[in-house]
Structure 1
Amino acid sequence: MRVDDTAESATPKRVTKRRIQTRERLLDAALLVFAEEGFGRSTVEQICERAGYTRGAFYSNFASLDELFLAMWEQRSAQMLADLREAVSGEYTGEPGELGVVESTARILDAIPIDDQWYRITAEFTAHALRNPSLKRVMAAREEAILATILPIVEAALARAGRRATDPQALGRALVAVHDGTTVQCLMEPESDTVRRARTNLFVSVLRNYSEEV
C-alpha cells in the first residue's frame, strides 16, 4: 500500500512525528536507490516506490533530488561529527609526543569509517555539482562549514597529545586531502593491510608535520 501525504503537504510548516518519519523513510530509500542506480540515473519515482510513498509525499519534503541529497549529506555529516567528538573525548593513555599523535590518529580514523556505498554516491553527486555552478557553491560552503566544525575537535585531540596546530586551516585541508585520496585506495584494495597502514601513517605524518609540542 502506498501512502498519500496530502494532509502533510497542506501544512508544510508543521513538523509532526509523521512528517519526520516520512522524511526519514525517503532519505533511507534514496540511499539505497542512489547506491544501486547511481545518482544520475535515479528518479523521484524510484525513491517513492522504495519508500512506499507518492510523489506528493516526496515534494512536500524536498524540492528536488539535489535537495534530498544535501539533506542526506547534512544528516550523515552531523552523525560523523558526533562520533568524532565522542571518539576524541574519551580517556587517553597519557602518552606524550609521537605516541600521543598515533593515539589521536587512531581515534580520528575510527570515527570516520570507509563506506563504499556512501563514497560512490558522493563521488557521483560531486561530479554532478561540478556541472552546476550554483550547486557547486552550495557544496563548497557546506564543506567549509564542516571543516570549521572538525578543526576544533582535531585541535582538542592534539592538545591531549601535548601538541598544537601550527596552521589549523592548512592542517584541516591536508587531512581532508589525505582522507579522500586514501579512501579510494582502501576501497580499491579492501583486503590490503598495507594500504590501511599507509593510510594511518599518512594521517600521523600530517598531524605531526602541521603541529608542534607545547
Structure 2
Amino acid sequence: MTRARLLAAAAEVFAESGVAGASVETIAERAGHTRGAFYGHFAGKDELVAALLEERTHREREEVAGLAAAGGDTWEALREWHRQRSVHVEQWLALRLELVRHTLNRAPGERSVLAGRETVAREALTGAVAHELGVDRAGAAFTALVVHALEDGLAIQRAIDPDSVPADAVVAATEMVLRGARRPGAGPGH
C-alpha cells in the first residue's frame, strides 16, 4: 500500500516539477509518508522512476491483451481504450517527456531508466504486429518500432492541439502502417 501511494504521488510530482525538480521529501509527503518510508521501498529517484514506468507498462500491456482476448472487434476496442486513456494523456506525456529529458542528462554509459520500459512496450507491440501480419517476430520488429514512435508523436500532437488530433488517432495510424507493411517488399530498406 505504501509503495503504491509513493508511485502515485511520484507520478503527480514528476509531472508538476520534473524528475530533477522533485524531491524525495515532496514525494513522500504527497503520499502521506516519511522519507524513511520512501527509502524503505526505493533506493532513490531513479529506482522509483523505473518502478513507475514498469508498473504502468505492465498494466497497459495486460489491458490491451485483455481487449484482444475478449473477442469481437479488437480495433474498435483499441479505439475505445485510447479514447478513455486520453483523459490523462497530458499528465502522462508531461511525465514521459520529463523522463526523456532526465535520460538525456544521464552520465555517459549509464543505462536510461526508460530503456526497460521501452523494451517491454516494443516487445508487446512486436508480438501484436507479428500476429496481425502473420510474420515472425524478427519480421515484425521494425513495424512495431514505427508504431511505438507514432504513439509518442501523436500524443505530443494531441497535447499541442487536442481539437485536431482524435484520441484514437494512434489506432488509425497503426492500421495504416500495418496495411503498408502487408504490401510485398514493404519494410526497412524497401
Q: Report the TM-score, using the length of structure 2 for normalisation.
A: 0.81
CA distance in 1, matches of 2:79, 2:100: 23
- For 2:105 and 2:16, locate their aligned partners in 1 and report how far apart those are by CA, in whole Å: 22
Question: How far apart are residue 188 of structure 1 and its match?
Answer: 1.1
Residues 25 and 35 in structure 2, CA contact (< 8 A), matched pair in contact too: yes
Name the residue aligned to 1:126: 100
1:142/1:32 CA distance change after superposition, 3 Å: closer
Preserved CA contact (<8 Å) 2:9 2:30: yes
Q: Does 1:184 align with 2:156?
A: yes
List runs of 5+ in structure 2 lacking aligned partners.
185-190
In 1, Cα distance between equivalents of 2:98 and 2:11? 13
* Alignment partners' CA distance in 2, 1:107 and 1:154: 16
Give per-residue Cα distances to partners, 1:22-78, cap 9 Å, x unaligned. Answer: 111111111121122222211001011111211111111101111101101000001
Question: Taking structure 1 as reference, are residues 198 and 152 closer, same or farther at Cα in structure 2, changes over 3 Å only?
Answer: closer
Q: Which has the larger radius of gyration?
A: 1
Distance change in 2, residues 1:83/1:199 (3 Å): closer
Structure 2 distance, partners of 1:165, 1:111, is 26
Q: Kindly tell me: are residues 37 and 153 of structure 1, through their superposed partners in 2, closer, same or farther at Cα, counting changes over 3 Å? A: same
Counterpart residue identity of residue 134, structure 1? E
- Matched with 2:125 is 150
**Given the superposition, is the C-alpha separation of residues 108 and 198 from structure 1 closer, same or farther in structure 2, using an over 3 Å criterion?**
closer
The DSSP-based 3-state class of the residue aligned with 1:91 is: coil
Q: Paired residue for 1:164?
A: 134
Go from structure 1 to structure 2 and tell me whether the alpha carbon gap of 1:131 and 1:36 turns closer, same or farther (over 3 Å shift).
Answer: closer
* Structure 2 letter corresponding to 1:50: R
**What letter corresponds to residue 190 of structure 1 in structure 2?**
P
Give the deviation of 1:140 after TM superposition.
2.6
Gaps of 5+ in 1: 1-20, 94-102
| Partner AA of 2:49 in structure 1 | F
Q: Give distance in 2, aligned partners of 1:87 and 1:155.
A: 17
Which residue identity lines up with residue 118 of structure 1 in the other structure?
W
Q: 1:198 to 1:111 in 2, by over 3 A?
A: closer
Aligned to 1:41: 21
Distance of 2:80 and 2:61 partners within structure 1: 12
Preserved CA contact (<8 Å) 1:88 1:153: no
Match of 1:211 in 2: 182
- Aligned counterpart for 2:48 among listed residues 62, 68, 89: 68
RMSD after superposition:
2.4
Distance 1:35 1:198 in 2: 23
Query: Paired residue for 2:111?
Result: 135
Match of 1:173 in 2: 145
Q: How far is the alpha carbon of 1:153 from its aligned partner?
A: 3.0
